[in-house]
Structure 1
Amino acid sequence: MSRSILLCIGLLAALLIPWLLGGSETWSRLNDFPLSSLLVMLGMILLCWVVNTLRLRLLLGDQRDKVSPVKSLGVVMAAEFAYCATPGGSGGPLTIMALLARNGVRPARGSAVFAMDQLSDLLFFLCALTGILIYALFQHLSQHMAWLLIISALSMFGGLVSCVVVARYHRLVIRMGGRLLARLNVEPSTRMRWARKLLHFLAAFTDTLKLPPQTLITVFGLTCVHWILRYSVLYLALRGLGADLQWAWSFLIQMVSLSAGQFSLLPGGAGAAELTSAALLAPMVGKSTAAAAILIWRAVTYYFYLLVGGPVFLLMLGRPLLKKLMKNVYP
C-alpha cells in the first residue's frame, strides 16, 4: 500500500506543480499548442527507442544473437518504464540484467553492457557541457545560470574521474570494501561472493571495452543522437508555445532538473523535476508558458514512457517480477 501511495503522490505532484505555477492560463496555452508538434515529439521518442536498441545490440557483441532485434527493443522499452517507475531509476539496470539473463546473457555481461551504456552517456553529457560552456563564453549569462553550468560540468567531470579511479584501482576498492563489510559483521562467504561478482563484472566490462574501435565510436554516435533527440523535446515545446529560448539553455535546464529528480525519493523524479524546471524556466519565459511547456515535456518524456513501456514490461517480465522489483526499490 505504501508503494502505491508513494507512486500516486509523485504523479500528483508532477501534475499539480505546473498547474499551480501557470494558473488558469495554462489550459489555454495547452489548447493553442500545435498537434503536429506533439506528434513530432512522440515520433522522436520512438526513434530514441530504436537508437537505443541498436546501441544495446552493438554492446552485446558476440552475445547479440541470443537476443532478437524485437526482444532487444522490448528490453529497451521495459527498462525505460522501470527507470520512470522507480526512485532514481534504480529499477532500470535490474530490468536490463533480468531480461538479458532470460535470453542466455550472463549477469556479469549484462551489467557490463549497462555500465558501458552509462559511461557513454556520461561522456556525451561531459562533451555537451563543454560545448555549452564554450558557447556561454560569448553570451551574457545571469549569475545563477553561470553557476548551474559550472556545477554541472564539475559534477560530470567528477563522475568520469570516479569511474576511471574505480577501474584502475579495483583491487584496492575490493579490499577496502571487504574491510568495511567485515566491520558491519557481514559473513565471509557473502563477502567472497560479492567480490567474485565484482571481478566477473570487471572482466566482462574489459571485454566490452575490447570491442572494435569502430563499434565503440558508433555506440557513442548513437548515444549523441539519442540524447539530442530527447533533450530537444522541451525546446520544441517552448517553440510551439511561441517562446524564444536557445537550445543550449533548454538542455541545461532539463539536465539540472532531471538530476534533481534523481535525488528525490519519488519515481522518475516526479515533483522534484517539475519544481526545479519551473524555478529555472519561469523567469525566462513567464509562468504560464513555463507551466505549459513543463506539462508537455513531461507528458512526452515521462508519462508516455510509463503508458507504453508498462505493458511491454508486464509482457516480458510478468506481474510477479514487477512486484519483486517494486519491493526491492521501495523497501
Structure 2
Amino acid sequence: MQSETNKKIKKIIIVPGNFFVSRNFFSSPLIENLQQISVKEKITIYIAGVESNPISSKYFKSLKNYFEDNYNMIFIPLMGSHKSPISRFIWYLKNNFLHKTATYRFNEINNFITHKRYKEITKLKIKDKFLWKTDIWPKYLGFPFPKSKLILKIILRFMSTALTSRNPQIHKHLKEIKPDLLLLGDIQSPISFDYVSVAKKLNIKIAGNVRTWDHLTKNGPVVPGLDEYWVWNPIMRTELEIFHKVSKNKIFEVGSPQFDYYFFNKTNEKNLTDYFNIKNPKSEFFLDDDSKLIFFATNRSHRGIGEESIIHHICENIALGKYNQKKN
C-alpha cells in the first residue's frame, strides 16, 4: 500500500515530439524551471525520448543518465522499435504518407501562403542537398481532390485508429506510470496521435503545446480532442480557433517556453557591444550619425531560396528613394 507521501506526488509525462522540440525546450531555462516545480509541487516528471523515430540504445542511455543525474527527471523511451514487417510498414505509411497527405490537404484547403511557396520550391527541382524533406510537397499528396474536407476527415480518423496508433510500449508506459497529465510538446507530429489515442483510453488528461509561431498555418492539422491547447499569443489563439476549429474554452495563452525567459528577464541583460567585445562599433561597422541602416537577416541556404530577389527589391527601392520618404 502506498504511503500518504507517495499518494500526494503527481506525475507528468512530457512528450517533446522530436529533436527540434527538445532542443528548443531543453536548451532554455524551462528545464530548470521544471526541476524547481517538481520539487516544490511534489511532481514526478517523465521525459519521453527526444525524436519521432526510435533512437539508439547508447544515445538513449547517455541522455537518460544526464537527465536523471542533473535534473531529477525520469527518462523513458519515446516508442519502441517496430520488429514485425507489418508494424514497420504501418509506421512508415502513417509517418511518410498519411501525415504528409493530411498536412498537404489541410494547407491546400486553407490556401496558406507558406504552402504555396513549398509547392513552388518543389516545382524548381532544386538539388536535395539544399533542401529538407519537409520542403518538398509533390502534388500526389493531394490526389484526388486536394481540397476535399471529407477526405481529410477520413485520413485524420484513420490516423487515430488502433491500427495506425497501436504501440505496445507507449501503452505499457502510460498504464504503468498512470500520469495525472500528458503534455505534448508538438500537437502536429505523428507521434502525438499515438500518445493521445492511448491516453484517451486510459482517461488521462492531455494538454498540448503549439511548437512554434508559424506551425498552425504550415504544419497541418492539430491532434483533435485534447483537454487543453497551449499557445503563445492571441494571434495563435485566433488561428487555432479559425483554421483548426478548437473551442475557445480549451485554448490557453501561456507564452513561449523557449523565449519568454529571455524576453522578460531584465537582471542578466548585457550591452551587446560589451558582450562581443566591440570597442568601437562606429568604426568597426563604418557607421556615422547620419547613416541610414537596413538590417537584413539572411537565412540558411535551404530556407532562404529566392532571397536574392528580396535584396534586389530593396536595392530598387533605395535607388527610387522610397526609404527616404517620411510617412505623415
Same fold by TM-score greater than 0.5: no
Higher relative contact order (CA 8 A, sep 6+): 1
User: Which of structures 1 and 2 has the bigger CA Rg?
Assistant: 2
- So what's the TM-score if we normalise by structure 2? 0.25
Higher helix share: 1
